[in-house]
Amino acid sequence: MSDYKPFEPLVKRIKEDGKCLPGGILKVDSFINHQIDPTLLQSMSIEFVRRFASVEINKILTIEASGIAPAVMVGFLLNVPVVFAKKKKPSTMADMLVTEVFSFTKNKSYSVCCSKEYLKEGDKVLFIDDFLANGNAAKGIIDLVNQAGATLSGMGFLVEKSFQHGGDFLRAQNFPVESLAIIGSLDDCKITFKD
Amino acid sequence: MSDYKPFEPLVKRIKEDGKCLPGGILKVDSFINHQIDPTLLQSMSIEFVRRFASVEINKILTIEASGIAPAVMVGFLLNVPVVFAKKKKPSTMADMLVTEVFSFTKNKSYSVCCSKEYLKEGDKVLFIDDFLANGNAAKGIIDLVNQAGATLSGMGFLVEKSFQHGGDFLRAQNFPVESLAIIGSLDDCKITFKD
């Protein structure tokens, strides 16, 4: 299930409304990160359900904040709980799984954590996030899932930036990765899609 | 529409799975803040649609991160865009509306901001959030909506802590507030609902 098939409604929307900023930044604020279009969100979420139809899933996992919207919609469609891994350890939580994620954008590490109550041995987890770039957040999620003794049934991303190679790493390890749109290059502030 | 009617499925769930921690903290991690139950989320979102049936709404507004799940579901049901106000100003955004919100929990102020592209004059906004406590986040949202020249059609909260009086303030100003469950007291680590 890892051959790339572009999800045309998203590709079309990125072509129409996506903006490229200097430094390899793709701005999709108007329909993913800052404002969500409910029709597009629904169609993307249904596409994830279709692409992961052959695997067992009893839980959706995402990282707050911008993964929450697609994760919630996929969880709603599959009628399974949605767990938000948190970017800092809440004071009210004991018994956490914790991992460190290095952010190239911010040039520092941050903790990602999840209560042991909500990620457990035997869970079959679909990880959903908005972006796959260098894959560091995804690696953190793999670590959390391993710590819990759970299984990663799939990893679904709205947008992958293949030139940052996180997808290469995950596919080389045989993780079942599905990206709805893959950007091959943002050179010269031009959005070029992977074929 | 501001007489309090408890939404029984949520009240029941808080009674079953909510936990009270010292310092007036209500922990609803297992079904709202850290893990979302999709069936409960759907029923709560439909209840908001019902309660705000008589007002015009062309946009849902929330604050990242824990308001996103109910906001996305209400936006999906009403088929209107969902805008996430952000807790820090992203480096990639110009032309922002900004307000300051004081957090009693953290004893410091933080910025809440929203692009002028997504909150505009003429917008009829339903604000959705998980908690209403002292109301400072809600006041920040009112400021953003006013700055934009938009109208607040309604404010919907999953859980209100009436002993922190944010709801009193908003209702005294005639804002259309709907809370699905109202906690009257957490004294002695006991969850007491408002009648």
A189 touches chain B (CB under 8 A): no
Amino acid at B107: N
- What the block records as the tokens of B183 is 């906690």
CA distances for B8 relative to A142, B33, B180, angstroms: 38, 19, 8
CA atoms in the 13 A half-sphere facing the CB of B134: 10
Q: Choose among B62, B136, B59: nearest CA to B99.
A: B136
- Res A94 pLDDT > 60: yes
Q: Choose among B96, B72, B74, B92: nearest CA to B144.
A: B96
Per DSSP bridges, beta strands B108-115 and B124-132 are: unpaired
Q: Is B177 helix (H, G, I), strand (E, B) or coil?
A: strand
Task: Give residue A91's pLDDT.
Answer: 67
Contact B34 A72 (CB under 8 A): no
What Rg, from alpha-carbon coordinates, does chain A have? 16
Q: pLDDT digits over A16-51, tens only?
A: 999 998 888 899 999 999 999 999 999 999 999 999
Question: H-helix or E-strand containing B56?
Answer: none
Closest B-chain CA to A21: B92
pLDDT band at A95 (very low <50, low <70, confident <90, very high): confident
Report yes or no: B31 and B37 within 8 Å, Cβ to Cβ.
yes
ipTM: 0.93
Contact B29 A73 (CB under 8 A): no
- What the block records as the tokens of A109 is 């590490």
- Res A4 pLDDT > 50: yes
Shortest distance between the Cα of B172 and any Cα of chain A, in A, equals: 31
Find all residues with CB under 8 Å of A107, minimum gap 6, and list them. Answer: none
Burial label for B34, CB within 10 Å (0-12, 13-18, 19+), is buried
| Angle of helix B38-51 versus helix B8-17 axis, rounded to 10 | 140
Which of B38, B78, B114 comes nearest A75 by C-beta?
A: B38
More confident: B122 or A65:
B122
- What the block records as the tokens of B171 is 């209702």
Report yes or no: A181 and A10 within 8 Å, Cβ to Cβ.
yes
* A62 bridge partner residues: A84
Shortest distance between the Cα of A94 and any Cα of chain B, in A, equals: 12
Which residues of chain B are within 8 Å of residue A25 when distances are taken between CB atoms? 92
- What the block records as the tokens of A131 is 């972006």
Task: Give residue B1's pLDDT.
Answer: 44
- Res A1 pLDDT > 50: no
Give the whole-angstrom CA distance, residue A176 versus residue A171.
Answer: 7
Cis peptide before A94 (omega within 30 of 0): no
Give the whole-angstrom CA distance, residue A144 versus residue A167.
Answer: 19
Residue listed under structure tokens 């009829």: B124
Split chain B (195 residues) into runs of 10 and give each run's mean pLDDT. Answer: 84 96 89 95 98 98 93 98 88 83 87 96 98 96 98 98 96 96 94 92
Task: Give residue A92's pLDDT.
Answer: 63
What Rg, from alpha-carbon coordinates, does chain B have? 16
More confident: B34 or A93:
B34
Q: Is A97 helix (H, G, I), strand (E, B) or coil?
A: strand
Mean pLDDT over the full length of chain B: 94
Task: Give residue B91's pLDDT.
Answer: 67
- What the block records as the tokens of B84 is 């996430």
Report yes or no: A48 and A74 within 8 Å, Cβ to Cβ.
yes
What percent of chain A is modeled with pLDDT above 90?
85
pLDDT band at A3 (very low <50, low <70, confident <90, very high): confident
Q: pLDDT digits over A139-183, tens only?
A: 999 999 999 999 999 999 999 999 999 999 999 999 999 999 999
pTM over 0.80: yes
DSSP state of B86: B
